[in-house]
Amino acid sequence: MTRLTPADVSCIGLSFLRKYDSEFRVKTGKSLTQFAEYLAKGHSLKFNEVKVAVVPITAGKGIIEGFSKAVCSTLSFLGCDAFVTSWSDVSGFFEAFQNKVDVIFAGDDSIFSAFNLNTKRVIENSYATGKAYAAALELMVKDLRNKEILVIGAGRVGISAIEYFLNKGAKVMFSECDPDRIEFIKKEYPEVIYESNLDCALPKIKYILLAAPSRDLLHEHHLTSESIISSPAIPLGLSESALKKISQNNLIHDPLQLGVIAMLSLALKN
């Protein structure tokens, strides 16, 4: 998993999120709040009744400056009563419990999760992010049934997206460089077709979920003006020429916020 940097998250405040929300609505037809409810399979989520604590974690490589604040801003944008605890780690969890919160968000170098203290549901970021970006592609494509979707990267995010697409009746192909992951997908999801060469698969396949964290993975010859790309991967794997080739309204990509929205939505879903 790519570790975010302060530069990735420092801009994520309420005014930035308002702009992101209006752009997201143009691309998908839904606001971020409507999208959160869509992910929760239509359950009406009363965000303004939810109290959330974000606990900074110093373990491993330590705190990412601005990370907890960015998570908190995203949750506040949805209407939650969200705050970053004054203390970190176990003391921060203690502070969260003292404040009788409904949900705690906390992340170390391996796992970033939302913990619903009422239902005991725990939602991990990669799982939620895969669902979020798959659902965003679905909204941009309009209907996934029998549509060919290429998932690039079969890690935790890519697998979560593959499951979403299969459940929606899409024809799923995948590309991956790790042999063990390739074997795992072939064994667990035999209906998913392995594409060994991106130059052959693209631009034949127009709909792409880019979950491989590599720069300049896709170039202009892989894409057309009709390509639609949903990319949770950090860094974004499109070259300058590729970015110029596609419509900006056909690209969904952000470092953190869509995954956080999905974590909350799935943590609150009944």
The rounded distance, in Å, linking the Cα atoms of 36 and 40 is 6
Q: How far is the CB of 46 from ligand PYL (least distance, A)?
A: 25
Quick one: angle between helices 67-77 and 14-28, nearest 10?
60
Q: How far is the CB of 80 from ligand PYL (least distance, A)?
A: 18
| Residue with Cβ nearer ligand PYL (70 or 201) | 70
Q: Report the alpha-carbon angle 135-81-4, nearest 5.
A: 55
The rounded distance, in Å, linking the Cα atoms of 159 and 153 is 8
| Residue with Cβ nearer ligand PYL (132 or 135) | 132
| Residue with Cβ nearer ligand PYL (63 or 193) | 63
| Residue with Cβ nearer ligand PYL (50 or 157) | 157
Is the bond preceding residue 235 a cis peptide, omega within 30 degrees?
Answer: yes
| Residue with Cβ nearer ligand PYL (56 or 158) | 56
Q: How far is the CB of 110 from ligand PYL (least distance, A)?
A: 8
Phi, psi (deg, nearest 5) at residue 66: 90, -10
| Residue with Cβ nearer ligand PYL (112 or 165) | 112
Q: How far is the CB of 207 from ligand PYL (least distance, A)?
A: 23
Q: How far is the CB of 62 from ligand PYL (least distance, A)?
A: 6
Work out whether strand 251-253 and strand 228-231 pair parallel, antiparallel, or are unpaired. parallel
Which 3-state string (H, E, C) describes 18-42? HHHHHHHHHHHCCCHHHHHHHHCCC
Q: How far is the CB of 76 from ligand PYL (least distance, A)?
A: 17
The rounded distance, in Å, linking the Cα atoms of 231 and 224 is 16
Q: Which residues contribute to the site for ligand PYL (CB under 6 A)?
A: 1-4, 56-57, 63-64, 67-68, 107-109, 112, 125, 234, 256
The rounded distance, in Å, linking the Cα atoms of 151 and 195 is 10
